[in-house]
Every structure is written in C-alpha cells, then in structure tokens.
Amino acid sequence: MENLEKYFGDALGIIYEGEEFAEDAKPLLRKWEFRFPKRIADPRGNSLGVTKSFCDFLEARSLGKLDVVGEVVLNGDVYGRKGFDDGDNIITSGIVSFERINKGNLNGVPRDLMCANTESGSKYYFYSDDHSASMFLLLGAAIHMN
C-alpha cells in the first residue's frame, strides 16, 4: 500500500478502502502509453492526429473533455481492477474520450488526474505525467508538429 501512495497520492481513495478494493473501485493506470490498432494500414495519420489532439488537450488545462477522433487504446500497469493483480500490464478497449478529473502539479510540473472512457463503457484513471518513456517521446514529437 505504501508504494501505491507514492504513485497515486490522493487518488488512491478511489480504488481502495483501507487494504481492500472499494465497492465502486475505479482502475488506475501507471506507465501508460497509446497503442494504435490500425497503425499498419495508416502508419502516420491516425497516430499523429490522435497524439496531437491529446497534447493540445493537455496544454489547454481549462478544457475538461476531449472526444477522440481516430483509433487508440491505452496500455499500462493497472491497479484496482477486479480480475487483475496490482501492476498487471493491460491493454484497454478503444478510447472514445478523455476527461480531466482534477488539476494538480508536482514540483511545479502539471500532474492532472485524467479518465479515459472506453467503447465498452469502462473508465481508466491515470495521471497525465505518469506515462512510459516511449509515450514521452511521442508527446514530445507531437508538440513540435505544425
């Protein structure tokens, strides 16, 4: 539980009550990244478009929701998802929207609690800055796009 507090801080209460899953547990993703199911058929258009839109959403902190145009799933280590052990790597179903749940910062760096809504109706929560190294590179490339 102490390691989880280090990563999730105040958001930990949405998945756990004490040491047990909360009745209305909401899974949290750590080391998240985008995956693009149609990458072979459309090697640049879908992935860059979705990533650029997400970057614009991250930077415009006054916006609360981003509807996804294109195909993307999230991959990451899940915590608080019934049927999975904490830290199991998962791939979500298709993402239809992202929501900004809470704005925050850690040492002056934006750290927003986000929610990804899937086609199947699931919700996955994650911190905007808790992405994988490959996602860091992808976001960096998208920021420099025209």
Angle, CA 31 vertex, CA 141 and CA 103 arms, to 5°: 80
- Examine residue 91 and state whether it is found in any structural domain, yes or no: yes
How much is the pLDDT for 98? Answer: 97
How much is the pLDDT for 109? Answer: 74
pLDDT tens, position by position, 95-141: 999 999 888 877 777 888 899 999 999 999 999 999 999 889 888 88
- Examine residue 11 and state whether it is found in any structural domain, yes or no: no
What is the C-alpha separation between 28 and 140, in angstroms, rounded?
24
Those residues with Cβ within 8 angstroms of residue 90's Cβ, 6 or more apart along the chain or in another chain: 29, 75, 76, 77, 78, 81, 84
What residue numbers bound the domain in which 121 lies?
Answer: 29-143
> Number of structural domains, the chain?
1
- Examine residue 83 and state whether it is found in any structural domain, yes or no: yes
What is the C-alpha separation between 18 and 47, in angstroms, rounded?
40
- Examine residue 82 and state whether it is found in any structural domain, yes or no: yes
pLDDT tens, position by position, 54-100: 989 998 989 999 999 888 999 999 988 888 888 999 999 999 999 99
- Examine residue 137 and state whether it is found in any structural domain, yes or no: yes
How much is the pLDDT for 25? Answer: 57
Find where tokens 């539980």 sit: 1
- Three-state SS letters, 80-130: CCCCCCCCEEEECCCEEEEEEEECCEECCEECCEEEEEECCCCEEEEECCC
Which band of pLDDT confidence, cut at 50, 70 and 90, is reported for residue 11? Answer: low
Task: Please check whether residue 73 is in contact with residue 91, taking contact to mean a CB–CB distance below 8 angstroms.
Answer: yes
